[in-house]
Amino acid sequence: MARAHSRRATHLAAALLVAGAVACASTAPAVPVGAADAAVILVPTSSAPLGPCAAELAATYCSAADALAARAACIARLSAADRATCDAALGCLTLYSPALAGPCVAGPTYSSASACTSPVGDTCSFYRGCLEVADPCGAEGYALAFGEPLCYVFLQHRADFSPAGQHWLQSVRACLQRELAVQLAQPATSCDALSAQAYASHTTCYTAPDDSFCALATGDVAALVAIVAPYLGNPQVAAQVGKVAGICSGNGP
């Protein structure tokens, strides 16, 4: 097992460090939607809708019909240039049924600051609706420049992962938001401090004892590499990659 972990760590470190130009090559299929009364959220296929469609992306819908109506309203507001950046096959927004505890409640996923203390981990609206509100750092800050877009990319490309890999993604998504929710009670002293705390949580969540990256199959590692590689120009991302690789090889904390 130790040798397998070491090979996986070496694979991750080497592949990510040389794959800065790699992008997600596969076209993700339409995100599945559950039963008529299941919760549904919108998932953007590019960064273009994130600002113009913030209200629609921040909401939970209790029927596909309502979600489709919200999607149409959003797309109508996008410019031709914005629409040109969207996935040619899927359009600008797809539908996803998140795994939620309890019955569906339509409306803003986070309707108050108190709601942010218990993140809805299988969605991505926490970053803009909670973290950015509590610690506004703008378009270049962690919440809007990294946390939110990467969360949506993982949702959009979840079909590239095995069932075990998808379960790991869901666990990581929830873990990252729980870690950040703890920080909301004590706003960061600066945006740099917030970023440092947030990026550090990635190592913790990626290597959680019960659901660790170190146990992922090679195909899931490759899918992760394709998604994360374009972010390696960020030294904080590269540092966390190194730490995860170290933990998987037995040389980390």
Lookup result for tokens 């809007």: 144
Contacts 24+ apart (CB under 8 A), 47-52: 47/85, 47/149, 48/78, 48/82, 48/83, 48/85, 48/86, 48/92, 49/74, 49/78, 49/82, 49/86, 49/92, 49/93, 50/128, 50/144, 50/148, 50/149, 50/152, 52/77, 52/78, 52/82
pLDDT of residue 14: 39
Over residues 32-57, the mean pLDDT reads 85
What are the residues whose beta carbons fall under 8 Å from the beta carbon of 191, sequence distance 6 or more?
Answer: 135, 137, 138, 141, 142
DSSP classification of residue 61:
B
Pairing of strands 207-208, 211-212: antiparallel
Q: Looking at the predicted structure, is the pLDDT value of residue 5 above 60?
A: no
pLDDT of residue 37: 65
What percentage of the chain has pLDDT greater than the value 90?
A: 70
Q: Which residue type, as a one-letter code, is found at position 163? A: P
pTM: 0.83
- Measured CA to CA, the distance from residue 86 to residue 174 in angstroms comes to 26
pLDDT of residue 26: 37
Closest-CA residue to 9 (of 234, 235, 232, 224): 224
What's the pLDDT tens digit per position in 147-157? Answer: 999 999 999 99
Over residues 116-144, the mean pLDDT reads 94
Over residues 136-162, the mean pLDDT reads 95
What's the pLDDT tens digit per position in 8-42? Answer: 544 454 333 333 323 333 334 444 444 446 899 99
Mean pLDDT of the chain: 85
Over residues 108-119, the mean pLDDT reads 93
- Taking residue 92's Cβ as centre, other Cβ atoms within 10 Å add up to 22
Q: Looking at the predicted structure, is the pLDDT value of residue 207 above 80?
A: yes
Lowest mean pLDDT among 62-76, 129-143, 152-166, 223-237: 223-237
pLDDT of residue 80: 96
Could you tell me the residue ranges of all domains in the chain? Answer: 2-248
Higher pLDDT, 93 or 100: 93
